[in-house]
């Protein structure tokens, strides 16, 4: 028996704006990433349009003339969805929707939509719903709810129509309810974490589709879902692993990053990403076969910085080496990035080197040290807590004496940070 797929593919037009500040090449790369996102969401991109303009048009984003031109294309080619690479203002959405008479989705909306369809656990669902409502709130107009109901599909997989129909006040109430729920989940997680205090923690982080879950599965014999689509993983999974060392090691797979990740999504995924925050070591996986792998690397570093993980010990794991023919690329990364290793998680290439690096870093001798801070240097105090195991804190008038345990390198890092203040 042949089963007919019920899924209807939406026909999408992708639109990006190139202003004076950006190069054509970069805008096109962003657009091809948008295409991957839209494929992941189940749309087929029929057109990819780049409009050059000195500045953003406040009413129509790409300018009224260009918008009218696109309206014709849309009509003639049966396009039912228009996706913009940058976030639009509510006014731009309203004007464009009126002109195109089609559904308009922006990059954040698209990412939220993918997250919504991928969220499986209570935590992920709560996090995505919160981010969606916050995204939706300023965009909520009568016209919007009406149109989204009319079209359905991508960009409208909101937290349920009944909630969309109700007014902003109800959405605000829901937002504060979800925030409380997440706080509860976060506390649960923290309690769990405390129970794992005597474990050493490794966290796998990186750009989406870099091969994090594939590496995780390889290191733990787990069976986490991995596929060639963006955001296959939304929840962090944690397992224990055994190396030769006596230490008990926990390793976590985490959600991937991408450029222009909606800020409210990052904020609501804080509890999941705490795995990275509290890790003793981060394995930063990078898809070396991607043309823009160095951009990806920077995006991940920036995002890690946002929640204060930039001073963690990190191994840069350049993955998918089986796809690389140009040997100089490997030389280049080895010479450019300290603590890096080139592997293939899928083919199992060079995994032994990676394991050795992990062991070396974890096995570094732990030293005890102390540092005296002025009472006003609270920022540094929280960094010490993040980087090291604080064994005692003593207050004396306007100074605080911290005693801590950390490996040699981290201890030196803390001292350096202190000198900067
Ligand atoms: N050729 C090759 N493909 C790989 C390698 N590692 C992973 N892949 C493929 O890359 C795709 C993405 O892998 P995942 O492990 O799902 O990547 P991820 O980083 O967990 O992705 P998200 O969870 O979506 O952020 C899959 O199709 C993998 O089979 C590798 O070393 N070589
Ligand atoms: Mg994954």
User: Domain containing 268 — which CATH number?
Assistant: 3.40.50.300
Does 280 share its domain with 413? no
Range of the structural domain that residue 71 is part of: 10-108
Does 339 share its domain with 201? yes
Query: Which residues, by Cβ under 5 Å, contact ligand 2, an ion?
Result: 212-213, 232-233
Q: What is the CATH number of the domain that holds 396?
A: 3.30.1370
User: How does residue 143 score in pLDDT terms, banded at 50, 70 and 90?
Assistant: very low
User: How does residue 5 score in pLDDT terms, banded at 50, 70 and 90?
Assistant: very low
> 211 CB less than 6 Å from ligand 1?
yes
Q: What is the CATH number of the domain that holds 55?
A: 3.40.50.11060
Does 371 share its domain with 358? no
pLDDT at residue 126 greater than cutoff 50:
yes
Average pLDDT, rounded, for the chain: 83
User: How does residue 147 score in pLDDT terms, banded at 50, 70 and 90?
Assistant: very low
Ligand 2 center to residue 289 CA distance, Å?
17
pLDDT at residue 164 greater than cutoff 70:
no
| Structural domain contains residue 272 | yes
Ligand 1 center to residue 344 CA distance, Å?
10
Distance of alpha carbon 46 from alpha carbon 30, whole angstroms = 16
pLDDT at residue 148 greater than cutoff 60:
no
Distance of alpha carbon 129 from alpha carbon 270, whole angstroms = 14
Identify the pLDDT of residue 261.
Answer: 79
Mean pLDDT of 194-208: 81
Does 379 share its domain with 327? no
Distance of alpha carbon 197 from alpha carbon 140, whole angstroms = 45
Q: Which ligand is nearest to the CA of 111?
A: 1
Ligand 2 center to residue 386 CA distance, Å?
25
Identify the pLDDT of residue 31.
Answer: 93
| Structural domain contains residue 147 | no
Identify the pLDDT of residue 325.
Answer: 92
pLDDT at residue 268 greater than cutoff 60:
yes
37, 118, 205, 213: residue to mutate for ligand 1 pocket, most atoms within 8 A of CB: 213
Does 374 share its domain with 244? no
The domain tally of the chain equals 3
Does 300 share its domain with 271? yes
Instruction: Judge contact between 31 and 49, C-beta under 8 A.
Output: no
β-sheet with 249-253: strand ranges across: 237-241, 249-253, 200-206, 281-287, 313-319, 340-342
Q: Which ligand is nearest to the CA of 217?
A: 1
Ligand 2 center to residue 128 CA distance, Å?
17
pLDDT at residue 22 greater than cutoff 90:
no
Q: Which ligand is nearest to the CA of 207?
A: 1
Of the two residues 374 and 295, the one the predictor is more confident about is 295
List, in order, residues 6 or more apart from 323 with CB less than 8 Å away. 288, 289
Identify the pLDDT of residue 383.
Answer: 81
Entry pTM: 0.78
Does 390 share its domain with 343? no
Of the two residues 399 and 158, the one the predictor is more confident about is 399
| Structural domain contains residue 169 | no
Q: Which candidate, 104, 61, 112, places its Cα nearest to that of 234?
A: 112
Mean pLDDT of 93-98: 91
């Amino acid at each position: 028996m042949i089963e007919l797929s019920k899924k209807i593919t939406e026909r999408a037009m992708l639109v990006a704006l190139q202003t004076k500040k950006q190069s054509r090449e970069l805008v096109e790369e962003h657009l091809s990433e948008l295409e991957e996102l839209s494929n992941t969401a189940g749309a087929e991109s029929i057109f990819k349009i780049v409009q050059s303009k000195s500045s953003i048009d406040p009413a129509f984003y790409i300018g009224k003339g260009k918008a009218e031109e696109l309206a014709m294309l849309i009509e003639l080619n049966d396009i039912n969805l228009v996706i913009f690479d940058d976030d639009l203002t509510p006014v731009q959405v309203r004007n464009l929707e009126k002109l195109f008479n089609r559904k308009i989705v922006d990059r954040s909306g698209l990412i939220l939509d993918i997250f919504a369809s991928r969220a499986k656990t209570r935590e992920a669902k709560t996090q995505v719903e919160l981010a969606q409502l916050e995204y939706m709130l300023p965009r909520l107009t009568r016209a919007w709810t009406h149109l989204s109901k009319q079209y359905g599909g991508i960009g409208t997989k909101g937290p349920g129509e009944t909630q969309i129909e109700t007014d902003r006040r109800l959405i605000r109430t829901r937002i504060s309810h979800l925030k409380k729920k997440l706080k509860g989940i976060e506390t649960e997680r923290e309690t769990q974490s405390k129970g794992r205090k005597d474990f050493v923690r490794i966290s796998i982080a990186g750009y989406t589709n870099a091969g994090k879950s594939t590496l995780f599965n390889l290191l733990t014999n787990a069976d986490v879902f991995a596929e060639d689509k963006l955001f296959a993983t939304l929840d962090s999974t944690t397992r224990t692993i055994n190396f030769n060392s006596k230490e008990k090691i926990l390793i976590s797979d985490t959600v991937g990053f991408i450029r222009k990740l909606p800020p409210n999504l990052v904020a609501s995924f804080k509890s999941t990403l705490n795995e990275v925050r509290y890790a003793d070591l981060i394995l930063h996986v990078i898809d070396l076969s991607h043309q823009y792998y160095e951009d990806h690397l920077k995006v991940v570093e920036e995002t890690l910085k946002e929640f204060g993980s930039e001073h963690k010990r990190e191994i840069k794991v350049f993955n998918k080496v089986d796809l690389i023919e140009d040997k100089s690329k490997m030389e280049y990364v080895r010479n450019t990035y300290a603590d890096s290793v080139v592997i293939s998680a899928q083919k199992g290439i060079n995994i032994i080197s990676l394991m050795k690096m992990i062991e070396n870093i974890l096995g570094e001798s732990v030293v005890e040290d102390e540092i005296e801070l002025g009472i006003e240097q609270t920022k540094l105090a929280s960094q010490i807590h993040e980087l090291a195991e604080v064994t005692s804190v003593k207050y004396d008038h306007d100074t605080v004496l911290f005693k801590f345990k950390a490996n040699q390198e981290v201890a030196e890092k803390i001292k350096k940070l202190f000198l900067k203040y």
